[in-house]
């Protein structure tokens, strides 16, 4: 019953490294999202994509980029990781027809040293 998967549950990287987080959904959803979750701040949208190769900035896009080459896969890229990017990263998808509930992946806990 797998719906949204993320490439890693835990990741430890060093400052300045390029980091790739991958997300795959098997529901044929058009829209996919990347959030980060920090204590007391809730979920904050980094980027979302409404179609292959299409993307829009969310509320906190600085320091991040994304790639969507296939409908089922949405990647988040940290070009040069910094310690303030230590966080829980959550991927989600939603049907572009119903725009009902978002389906979330299990999350990636990223630590940047």
Partner 1 sequence: EDQVTQSPEALRLQEGESSSLNCSYTVSGLRGLFWYRQDPGKGPEFLFTLYSAGEEKEKERLKATLTKKESFLHITAPKPEDSATYLCAVQATYNFNKFYFGSGTKLNVKP
Q: Which residues bind partner 1 (CB under 8 A)?
A: 4, 9, 31, 33, 35, 40-45, 48, 50, 56, 90, 92, 94, 99-107, 109
Whichever of 13 and 109 has its CB closer to partner 1, that residue is 109
- Which residues fall within 8 angstroms of residue 84, CB to CB, at 6 or more apart? none
Give least dist CB 59 to partner 1, A: 9
- Full DSSP string of 3-39: -EEES-SEEEE-TT--EEEEEEESS--SEEEEEEEET
Distance (Å, whole) CA 103 – CA 34: 12
Give least dist CB 44 to partner 1, A: 8
Q: Which two tokens stand for residue 99?
A: 């725009």
Whichever of 23 and 78 has its CB closer to partner 1, that residue is 23
Whichever of 8 and 15 has its CB closer to partner 1, that residue is 8
Give least dist CB 45 to partner 1, A: 7
Distance (Å, whole) CA 13 – CA 59: 24
Whichever of 45 and 79 has its CB closer to partner 1, that residue is 45
């Amino acid at each position: 019953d797998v719906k949204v998967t993320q490439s890693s549950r835990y990741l430890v990287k060093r400052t300045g490294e390029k980091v790739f987080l991958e997300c795959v959904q098997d529901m044929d959803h058009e829209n996919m999202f990347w959030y980060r979750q920090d204590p007391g701040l809730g979920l904050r949208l980094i980027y979302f994509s409404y179609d292959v190769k299409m993307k829009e900035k969310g509320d906190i896009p600085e320091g991040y980029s994304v790639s969507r080459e296939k409908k089922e896969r949405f990647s988040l890229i940290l070009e040069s990781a910094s310690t303030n990017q230590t966080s829980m990263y959550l991927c989600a998808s939603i049907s572009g027809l119903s725009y009902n509930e978002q389906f979330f992946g299990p999350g990636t806990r990223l630590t940047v040293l």
